[in-house]
């Protein structure tokens, strides 16, 4: 199945994004979409998240990345039907197509819960160097499973930085310090924030007494290496359950 056929089958249509949304994403490098998940979906995703953290213990996230001060999970496309929405949602895929063009695939689906008193990250981009405006390789989406607030470590982004042609590592004296232009992505659980992964971003300090839960459904151009080799890691149960269109998004 071609990507074009897969996207059509999953209900992707240009008009799922308004002109205003497209313009905001182009200019700012991110786009919050409220209410993509119901409360029941948020609860089910959180329950599975906790189950996997308990099951995997110190190995959590090791397929991709582990981080002190955060419960990390990886390879979630392969760890439960509940995660399927993160790589098949038509509005999210419409945004990915807008940023990356029609030939993209899932790079990885990971989880991150910043623990109380932890979670501050350097401003970074998910790509090693600056790019020319419009020539984007990767695009992420963060799925809020907790309300993101000023206190609990909401993600910060620097609007417009995806078009700066610079990487924060080179451009900033102290990438961990607050940036004068940074915006905190505060929003209720169930929101999905698309962010062009060339936009400078990072987790902030969780000053609350509860973990702050999010999922990162991360896409790349189809000619780029996936962060998770979906074909190598996919299990038979997942493979058999997925539709051909979903398999095409994973490129398995």
Q: Give contact residues for ligand AKG (rule: CB under 6 A).
A: 112, 121, 155, 201-203, 214
- Provide, rounded to whole angstroms, the least separation between the CB of residue 234 and ligand AKG: 23
- Provide, rounded to whole angstroms, the least separation between the CB of residue 126 and ligand AKG: 7
Structure tokens at 116: 């109380």
Whichever of 11 and 188 has its CB closer to ligand AKG, that residue is 188
3-state secondary structure 11-23: CCCHHHCCHHHHH
Report the alpha-carbon distance of residue 83 to residue 221 in Å, rounded: 21
Whichever of 144 and 249 has its CB closer to ligand AKG, that residue is 144
Whichever of 49 and 252 has its CB closer to ligand AKG, that residue is 49
- Provide, rounded to whole angstroms, the least separation between the CB of residue 156 and ligand AKG: 8
- Provide, rounded to whole angstroms, the least separation between the CB of residue 40 and ligand AKG: 23
- Provide, rounded to whole angstroms, the least separation between the CB of residue 188 and ligand AKG: 15
Q: Which residues of 100-120 are buried (b: 16+ CB within 10 A; e: fewer)?
A: beeebbbbbbbbbbbbbebbe
- Name every residue whose Cβ is closer than 8 Å to that of residue 108 and which is 6 or more positions away in sequence: 64, 74, 75, 216, 218, 226, 227, 228
Whichever of 190 and 214 has its CB closer to ligand AKG, that residue is 214
Whichever of 60 and 202 has its CB closer to ligand AKG, that residue is 202
Q: What is the largest CA-CA distance in the chain?
A: 49
């Amino acid at each position: 199945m071609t990507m074009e056929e897969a996207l059509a089958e999953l209900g992707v249509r240009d008009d799922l994004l308004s002109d205003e949304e497209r313009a905001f994403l182009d200019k700012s490098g991110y786009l919050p979409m409220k209410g993509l998940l119901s409360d029941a979906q948020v609860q089910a995703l959180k329950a599975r998240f906790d189950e996997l953290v308990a099951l995997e213990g110190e190995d959590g996230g090791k397929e991709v990345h582990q981080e002190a001060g955060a419960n990390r999970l990886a390879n979630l496309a392969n760890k439960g039907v509940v995660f399927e929405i993160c790589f098949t949602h038509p509005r999210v895929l419409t945004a990915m197509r807008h940023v990356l063009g029609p030939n993209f695939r899932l790079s990885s689906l990971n989880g991150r819960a910043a623990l109380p008193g932890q979670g501050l990250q350097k401003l970074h981009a998910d790509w090693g160097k600056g790019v020319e405006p419009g020539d984007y390789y990767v695009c992420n989406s963060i799925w809020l499973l907790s309300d993101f607030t000023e206190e609990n470590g909401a993600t910060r982004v620097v609007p417009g930085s995806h078009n700066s042609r610079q990487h924060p590592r080179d451009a900033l004296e102290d990438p961990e310090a607050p940036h004068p232009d940074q915006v905190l992505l505060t929003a209720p659980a169930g929101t999905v924030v698309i962010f062009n992964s060339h936009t400078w971003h990072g987790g902030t300090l969780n000053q609350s007494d509860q973990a702050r839960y999010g999922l990162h459904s991360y896409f790349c151009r189809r000619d780029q290496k996936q962060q998770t080799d979906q074909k190598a890691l996919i299990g038979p149960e997942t493979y058999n359950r997925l539709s051909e269109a979903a398999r095409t998004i994973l490129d398995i």
